[in-house]
Amino acid sequence: MEKFDKLTGVAAPLNLINIDTDMIIPKQFLKTIKRSGLGVHLFDEMRYDDDGQEIADFVLNKPQYRDAKILVAGDNFGCGSSREHAPWAIADFGIRCVIAPSFADIFYNNCFKNGILPIALPQDQVDLLMDDAARGANAILEIDLEAQTIKGPDGGTISFEIDPFRKHCLLNGLDEVGLTLQQEDKITQFEAARENAQPWL
């Protein structure tokens, strides 16, 4: 998993509440088990019309937000089903951080497993960042995970909280497999000892 330390990029405003996982990645795109290739279908039903043409006024179709790395959204982001394809699609699009007043628990947990930093902030602070994001190509935010700060385009700084263990995992690029492999020596020793003691297994 890619490490997350500092992130500087355009923030896209998506001022909607209760954005569920079916809105993030509709069910017809869940057939794959690959983490790549889903970014083109992120928010598919909001990005494209029935003929597959881009809807010009959807935020991620606007030229200034096509390369957004940060998404500022409304309350209860990621509600709905537990599909891990939702953070896969977000990451594949290029978004590494989602900021909202609150997140659905399963989606929140899945973000950390896929190298995405979800930041929950009070509504008034999200409103400030939403205003910053409305500046288009000038909507540059700087996120410092180590310092746990967000710096806006005018230089104002907002602090955020994060669980120390999750922070450690993101800073070091450790998903569950990576955490397990940190114990590889002990696992190898255990397997060798068991094979000697119980060769019939």
Q: Residue 92: what pLDDT?
A: 97
Q: Does domain 6-173 have CATH number 1.10.10.10?
A: no
Q: Residue 163: what pLDDT?
A: 96
Q: Residue 192: what pLDDT?
A: 65
Q: Residue 20: what pLDDT?
A: 97
Q: Residue 183: what pLDDT?
A: 61
Residuewise pLDDT in 10s, the chain (201 residues): 889 999 999 999 999 999 999 999 999 998 888 878 999 999 999 999 999 999 999 999 999 999 999 999 999 999 998 889 999 999 999 999 999 999 999 999 999 999 999 999 999 999 999 999 998 878 899 999 999 999 999 889 999 999 999 999 999 988 765 565 556 676 667 766 677 778 776
Q: Where are the domains of the chain?
A: 6-173
Reading the block at residue 46, the tokens are 């909001």
Other Cβ atoms less than 10 A from the Cβ of 200: the count is 4
Q: Residue 182: what pLDDT?
A: 58
Rg (CA), the chain: 19
Q: Residue 14: what pLDDT?
A: 97
Give yes or no for a contact between 21 and 86, defined as CB atoms under 8 angstroms apart. Answer: yes
Q: Residue 193: what pLDDT?
A: 67
Give the three-class secondary structure for 199.
coil
On the 0-12 / 13-18 / 19+ scale of CB atoms within 10 A, 118 is: buried
Amino acid letter at 84?
A: E
Q: Residue 194: what pLDDT?
A: 75
CA distance between the termini of the chain: 34
Whose tokens are 């179709």? That residue is 61
* 116/125 Cα distance (integer angstroms): 20
